[in-house]
Structure 1
Amino acid sequence: MPTLLLRLAGPMQSWGTISRFDQRDTGKEPSKSGVIGLLAAALGIDRENWYDLEPLTLLTMGVRHDRPGVLKRDYQTAQNIISADRSKVHQTAVTTRDYLTDAVFLVGLEGRGRRLLERAHAALRNPVWPLALGRKSYVPSESIWLDGGIVDTPLLDALAVWPWLASPRQQEAAPERLLASIESDDDCGALRMDQPLSSFAERRFGARFVRAEWVILQRETNHVSA
């Protein structure tokens, strides 16, 4: 099956799945809902358009942790916040926002049809709407689009073949293996509530399972004749 590869690198990223009211969380890796939302922005799919969004949600996702990043927390204040039932006004509200700093991920999306992946790949190079890493203010520091980013290789193999992203200038220092989070077809792995079930306007998400695996990086070998 073909696989589409994306590079998610930036000074700040946030991939929340359980955020509520004044607390904004982040996972340790990109969420599926976040990555699908990023592709939707590139393709210009409106947040109420489920017809065009659904095929993207059927892709199988994997994430390679090229540089896991550091978890940080930011405190922000807002003034004169009206409560949900409009019964009172809070003079000062404190919100917490978690995010990852200096993280780099290689994301793979595997599908049965190459045409959808080709459309998404082209859109990442020339997106309809601005692309962000979980929040609008968290812009990528490098191109999400990768040259040759569609490979005719299954997901796990594609994550192993692609060169290390964390330090392209020091490939000789690349680790032998990297942690990867792979979407599972069965109930094996950790439960994640980030599978889109509707348009982003309706905001309905279901469960999916993700298993952790180590991928052995494949290095190029120079064949020198004796």
Structure 2
Amino acid sequence: DRVYAITPADETTVTAERFGPGSSRASLEATYGAPVASDDEAPGTAIYRAQPGSPVGYRVTYDPTTDTVRTIVVCRCIIGSSSVLDAGLWQIDFDGIGPLTLGMTESEASAAAPDLTKIRDGEWQILEIGLSAVFHDGTLWSISVSRAPSSFGESISGAFLPNARGIRLGNLSGNLGAVFPGGMYRSYVVAGWTQYLVADRSGHLITFTADGASVYGDESIENTMPGLELTGVTVEDAARTLSAATHAEILG
């Protein structure tokens, strides 16, 4: 289902920009810009992009007599391909990275992100931004983006890579718990990295990886990771990618 949420009839419920039933078309377009093309256009509706570079939009139904809002639906419904030149605008969230959404077929993914190159059966990459997409039985199960730690020398700036609600690769991991609350920490001493894992109710999992490890318990990891450089993010359908035991440990 592409629909995320629906603004109810209660006029006190509004979007983040405080639009809701009764808002004028002119006020919405002053904030969101002109309507864009989508894959679910219908008479009396218009689609506005929620954020630059994102496939998520607001589908707005207008009252034809007053040109004011009747309903606002948040949907992943904006069509069109996306270039790596826009990757710095791509959003990382529980459903995917930029134009790539978990559950896509290979043909849908390659149409949405034409820079994807098939490496081997089930694995595609966009080398320029360190992105990897893994498919199983033709369905997208996992998407990740990574960069080398700054200590390795020159690496692509995180400003040109997808971001997770403003958190970018190459930055310190300090506010992960605040931006994505309710996760758990893991540290791998031999590998030399630490992770913060957080899942949503649908079982989609985001794993943030930072350069450096803690040798002590969970409390020490929680205190250590904020000072470590973020080097990778993976979004996956944990119900499909993880073993039953690991799934139960992380998602309960």
Give the TM-score category using the shorter length: under 0.3
Structure of greater relative contact order (alpha carbons < 8 Å, 6+ residues apart): 1
Normalised to the residue count of structure 2, the TM-score between the two structures is 0.23
Normalised to the residue count of structure 1, the TM-score between the two structures is 0.25
